[in-house]
Amino acid sequence: MAVLIFILAKNSFAQQAMTPEMLWSLGRVGTECISADGKQLIFSVSIPEVSENKSKHFVSMMDLATGKTNVISKNENKKSDFRIVNSTTTLFHQNKDWYLADANFGNEKKIEGLPEGADNVKVSADLKNILFTKEVKIDKISAADFYNDLQKSNVKVYNSLNYRHWDEYEDGSYSHVFLASLNAGAASNTKDLMKGQKYDCPQKPHGGAEDVIFSPDSKGVIFVTKPKTGTEYALSTNTDIFWYNINTGTFKNISEGNMGYDMAPQFSADGKYLAWLSMNRDGFEADKNDMMVWEVGTTNSTNVTAGWDESVTGFKFSNQSASKIYFTAYVDGTEQIFEVNYGMPAPNIRIKKPEIKQITYGDFDVNGLVGEATIFDTKWDTKIATSSKMVVSRTDMNHAAELYLVNLNNGDMKPLTHVNDAIYATLKMSKVERKYFTATDGKKLMNWVIYPPDFDATKKYPTLLYCQGGPQSALSQFYSFRWNFQLMAANGYIVVAPNRRGMPGHGTKWNEQISGDWGGQSINDYLTAIDSVSKENYVDVNRRAAVGASYGGYSVFMLAGVHNNRFKSFIAHDGVFDTKSWYGTTEEMWFAKWDMGGAYWDGNNLSYTKFNPSEFVNKWNTPILIYQGGKDYRTPEGQAQEAFQAAQLKGIKSRLIYLPEENHWVLSAQNALAWQREFYKWLGETLK
């Protein structure tokens, strides 16, 4: 690990404030898995090489008892997707191939016979079968599919919605789950478990290997899919979890009857319970995310977080007890670890009333549970020798993700990785403070306020109102490589980031309120936040800006028409400018229909009048910078083009930054740096 720290630090010595270039030199720590015995941690580090517009990759193994770390893969020989098969066997991916290995990922042997394009590979614990997903062409879409003499044409024919999703146009292919025999290292007797179905597993666009698993007894396959297609698919969030019995060849929908998202299935270590995340309402993608637990082979399933007023973001079964699950959730602007204990039911006894308690506290996010460790540290575990440990990923607004070990009995944490410590040692950190203001409806509004390094309360500072996306995304202690508060503060700006209506971590009513009310109370919350912080003498009220992306971009467009000269500058990225035209061009119609409260042709609807930013362009009078990704089909490029054209025709100082190959995000290193440089150049021009 010392080698990694040296690599990251050698170009940053003597830096005192974060810069875009330094931000894009930070190592990005990823999690892979913990060995079956709980003693070895596999993790990855990705280091951007901006000049090459790519990254260096390292995969390392850490002995959790000693902290000793060895690099086991790097760059072109990169290994990834490390998985535990059983107590003696592991699995990983390298280049285009998959390998079985021993418990410590050594003595690898290539799995032969997998077809090209096989992904999300899993091997059963008894080493008899293998799972993988692969794209299967079913629908005729291109003109060449219909007409043999037009093989060089570039025409697509669609007869229903979902013709494009996220950043891709549909080509008639669906990702299916395949089961094959693992015979002496060769995959054979392959069976398509979704044959003929126009469904996907994993779920698009962001599903992964968690969507398809073996049962611990190797007798079943569990996979997630949305059993809908075309326009019906675009209007629904109703995914289901299916169980395929390998011996009988039969299927069972184990989440049947639940009409919202069901996802992320996971077994207890003994295989007696299956848990998954579940939303209740079809079409509401930000519904309360509960955790269901099913007693395998029975009709008994229980919502173990039903009486709890927050949403689960991720979970892991305890290795010590099948009746205990650790999970993460947002609370008051942070993401923390919780424990739910639903009793240890004896045969024929129903699950007891669950007990939930919070384990960790602090101004940070625990944004990933890797797995339990079995080590014992006498300097740390002074009271309970059998205390459980969990390896987690943790961030805060001044620090990118690093891995920590958490004592699950008391929440104590200590760092395992130190990838960016050498760079942070050269930086002056920003002060991050939690402030509460009173909203226009009398409710308490929590805000993060981030101050420049060496902040001096006797001076005046330009101030940025940060508008979060979602609209139901959390504004917690995340560390973004684009909307980076540390970098904003280092450039001399105070940042106020309100947990306005619509965000999780403040109860489900607060989270749900924003649906159908995009331009209502949440916009008032933004104005409350900037007005309240502006009462401080150190805020320069003549140099304030509002910035944001996605729903945050919508918020900027909306504020531009209602801010009454509070702001001197605006920056919007991939925001909704005209709700009517957006409803007619976005792809996930379940989201648009739910959050707009229906279609624009249904009659009087405030989403298309009072809450439509384009209706207030007559009041625009403030410089505005607009970013737009060309492959963003969630908020298509016409939204930015309409807004830019309106500003230009009104004679308002405005600029359009078009990123033709980016989607709703900015993923390329050089594009991201260009994004950052234009961001601060614009603020420098307009907040003089």
Token pair of 398 as six digits: 């001044």
Token pair of 337 as six digits: 């670890």
Mean pLDDT of the chain: 94
User: Domains, the chain, ranges and CATH?
Assistant: 431-686 (3.40.50.1820)
Q: What confidence score (pLDDT) does residue 376 get? A: 79
Q: What confidence score (pLDDT) does residue 2 get? A: 39
The active-site residue, picked from 318, 550, 555, 607, is: 550
Task: Judge whether 550 counts as a catalytic residue.
Answer: yes
Nearest to 9 by CA among 24, 23, 25: 25
Token pair of 312 as six digits: 């689960």
The active-site residue, picked from 124, 211, 632, 654, is: 632
Q: What confidence score (pLDDT) does residue 301 get? A: 87
Dump strand ranges (E) for 318-469. Answer: 324-331, 334-341, 355-358, 365-373, 389-396, 399-407, 413-415, 431-438, 444-451, 461-467
Report how far residue 312's alpha carbon sits from residue 290's, in angstroms, rounded to the nearest whole number: 6
Q: What confidence score (pLDDT) does residue 5 get? A: 43
- Residue 570 pairs in a beta bridge with 546, 624
Q: What confidence score (pLDDT) does residue 386 get? A: 56
Judging by DSSP bridges, how do beta strands 220-225 and 212-214 pair with one another? antiparallel
Can you give the C-alpha Rg of the chain in angstroms? 26
Judged against a pLDDT cut of 50, whether residue 9 lies above it is answered with no
* Confidence band for 424, pLDDT divided at 50, 70 and 90: very high
Dump strand ranges (E) for 304-387. Answer: 312-317, 324-331, 334-341, 355-358, 365-373
List pLDDT tens digits, range 474-506.
Answer: 999 999 999 999 999 999 999 999 999 999 999
Report how far residue 573's alpha carbon sits from residue 547's, in angstroms, rounded to the nearest whole number: 8
- Residue 621 pairs in a beta bridge with none
The pTM assigned to this predicted structure is 0.96
Task: Judge whether 664 counts as a catalytic residue.
Answer: yes
SS3 144: helix
Task: Judge whether 176 counts as a catalytic residue.
Answer: no
Q: For residue 366, is it left (φ>0), alpha (ψ between -120 and 50) or beta?
A: beta
Cβ count near 154 (within 10 Å)? 8
In terms of Cβ atoms closer than 10 Å to its own Cβ (0-12, 13-18, 19+), residue 196 is: exposed
Cβ count near 198 (within 10 Å)? 15
Judged against a pLDDT cut of 50, whether residue 7 lies above it is answered with no
* Confidence band for 388, pLDDT divided at 50, 70 and 90: confident
Token pair of 485 as six digits: 């508060």
Mean pLDDT score, 201-210: 96
Residues 423/26, Cβ–Cβ less than 8 Å: yes
Report how far residue 441's alpha carbon sits from residue 110's, in angstroms, rounded to the nearest whole number: 63
* Confidence band for 365, pLDDT divided at 50, 70 and 90: very high
Distant-in-sequence, close-in-space partners of 95: CB < 8 Å, separation ≥ 6? 77, 78
Mean pLDDT score, 108-136: 97
Q: Which of the 8 DSSP states describes residue 286?
A: T
Q: What confidence score (pLDDT) does residue 350 get? A: 54
